[in-house]
Amino acid sequence: MKRILIIIVLCATSLAFGPSTASAASCVDTGPTTVCRLGDTGPGGGIIFYDAGSLQWWGRYLEYSPDKRGFLGSWTNEQMKIASIYADGANGLSKAQQQLRSKGIGMGKMNTAAIIAQQNGASAAKSASDYQGGNRTDWYLPSKDELNALYDWSALNGKAAGTAPQWSSSEAGDGFAWYQLFADGTQFTDANGIIRGLKSNKAMLKTPMHVGSDFAPEQLLATAIRAFPASTGTPPPPFAAPLAPTVNTDCKPGGLCKLGDVGPGGGIIFHDAGVDDWWGRYLEVAPASCEGSNLPFKVGAEKPYATTMGGQTAAELRVLAKRVGMGKVNTRILTVAFGRGSYAAKFAEDSVCGGKDDWFLPSKDELDLVYNNIAQNRPLIKDSSVGQPTPLGGFDKGYYWTSTDYNGGTAWTQYFNDGQQFDRVQTLTGNKKPVRPFKVRPIRAFGSVEVKTCAQGGLCNVGDVGPGGGKVFYVAPDFLFIKFGYRYMEAAPSDIGFPSWCDWKGLVGTKTAIGTGQSNTTAMVQKCQRGAANSADTYVSPNGTSDWFLPSKDELNQLYKQRDLVGGFATDYYWSSSEGNAASAWGQYFGGGSQTNGLKSYTIFVRPVRAFG
């Protein structure tokens, strides 16, 4: 039987992009040891929008030009609109492999140089390269993935990089290049019938009108970016997808996997994070035999992401929901919102493919990795209305659903003919012309370390025994994990009775939100000679754990919700660490759930809690 996390929240888990943590501080390039923050003013006078977390072959940080106007123009001039910048066989790679590699983070500089070397005049790449802001001469046109990182950072910071569509430096074929709408984040090439009859887009000055879109054509811009500090400058070779999965007996939890290996669930390994992240390390995609077809994204409920969480807007949450690691969280949100029925997320979550029951619908970025890493060797055919499945994975050439909502009415899909990602109406089950059902391919995640129990510091579910000997009552796979530095909260195995709240006569200044109980307790202990916080702070559990604290009002409410799994509660009132005013504080009645402000002199129960993970 599946073990399901009931607490559902969204996460911001990567250093790559996110809300700015700086107030336009200046960052100096000091070489490999350079430390900057997102939102800082970079060495070139631009704004830092991407941090890889450590030094890569291309550098670590990306900054974009402070010139908000951008540069008008086409991708290349007319003479080059059907000439590929990467020749077949160059660097020992096929043209398809070159074009795939050209999309990645770090590739913009090489792409820009290749375009300029072959063009005969003005181009987006030349405009970006000629920019000399901050007295730097190493600016360039961003690659597809670099441009998307800029969009994501901008969207989380109030459209800081504007809303105009922009060119990338990445090719998608002899006649086509990638561009991005900064109004909504969609990345296009408009090839393969997306714009009917279009033979090339490299000479476009404006975006075309897309069927079903509210966005009017706009002039295409080019933005200059640069990377720092300096590194080797030599990219690793791209993954060359084999024609069949490879068998590797070491590919299992606690072992090491390679891209293309058969995974523990009988699928194919398509992503290796390199180290264990909060969601795991490896992602495997289910085999073709476990694929769903002709399914909508949603049934029943409206706008599953319409509410805000933790001070973030619905629009911000939808940006975060694209990320690697978010597919499982998105899937749980959708199946709770929609309930029973036949739809994409439910199909994925109910899958027991390969004897595993932890499959989910991939996020937008996770599905893009599936396409990029194992669906690149589809046999070439003349009739574009029929498709051959890919040798590795057996993927159709049509649309696959992701678990990432776009605006409540549409959701992101990926076109597996060429990798373009589009928002499609959530109730659709397929295309009418040509007739092609939408597909669903589940994925799952696992780590490279041996599985530990919750009590040993491994993954936990509500009701598990935690490292402190108590029961886990809260699981937070969201931005709180990053903000507060923990994922789980457990309650002590027994009560303390019956302290007053505090003997301090003034206002302590505590807060009510999840994540504030620990700081509330510290503030109370500093003010109170005796009371509820002092009792929790000095509590030691039977196994010797001593880092307990008094839960905040919202933390106590989470504990009440899981009281049956935790157990041992009296049908009585319990203190929180949250004040109502100078004379009163919040408590909760565990006989019915009501939260009430009571005088600080009242004596009631305390159940200490602790945070970990």
pTM for the model stands at 0.72
Position of tokens 């390994």? Answer: 269
Helical ranges in 288-326 per DSSP H: 314-320
At 397-447, the pLDDT tens digits run: 899 999 998 888 889 999 998 899 989 999 999 988 778 899 999 999 998
The full set of domain ranges for the chain reads: 47-228, 268-446, 484-612
**What does the DSSP 8-state code read for residue 134?**
G
Which residue is listed with tokens 């009296």? 570
Q: For 77-86, 252-261, 283-292, 537-546, which range has the lowest pLDDT when averaged over its residues? A: 77-86
Which is more confident, 15 or 72?
A: 72
Q: Please classify residue 197 by burial: count the beta carbons closer than 10 Å to its beta carbon, then call 0-12 exposed, 13-18 middle and 19+ buried.
A: exposed
Q: What is the CA radius of gyration of the chain?
A: 27
Tens-place pLDDT, residues 266-290: 999 999 998 887 788 999 999 999 9
* 354 Cβ contact partners less than 8 Å away, ≥ 6 residues apart: 263, 264, 265, 266, 267, 286, 287, 290
473 upstream amide cis, omega within 30 of 0: no
- Encoded tokens for 444: 């799952």
Concatenated DSSP letters for 50-90?
Answer: EEEEEEETTEEEEEE-S-TT-EE--SS-GGGTT--SS-TTG
Residue 386, C-beta contacts closer than 8 angstroms, at least 6 positions apart: none
- Report the length, in residues, of the chain: 613
Location of structure tokens 């990798």: 419
How many Å apart are CA 113 and CA 126, to the nearest integer? 9
| Chain mean position to CA 416 | 21
- Per-chain mean pLDDT for the chain: 86
DSSP 116-131: HHH-SS--HHHHHHH-
Q: Per residue in 203-253, pLDDT tens?
A: 899 999 887 777 889 999 999 999 999 999 998 877 777 788 999 999 988
User: Do 464 and 471 contact (CB within 8 A), yes or no?
Assistant: yes
Backbone angles phi and psi of 518, in degrees to 5: -65, -45
What residues does 475 pair with on adjacent strands?
Answer: 488
C-alpha–C-alpha distance, residues 391 and 402, integer Å = 22
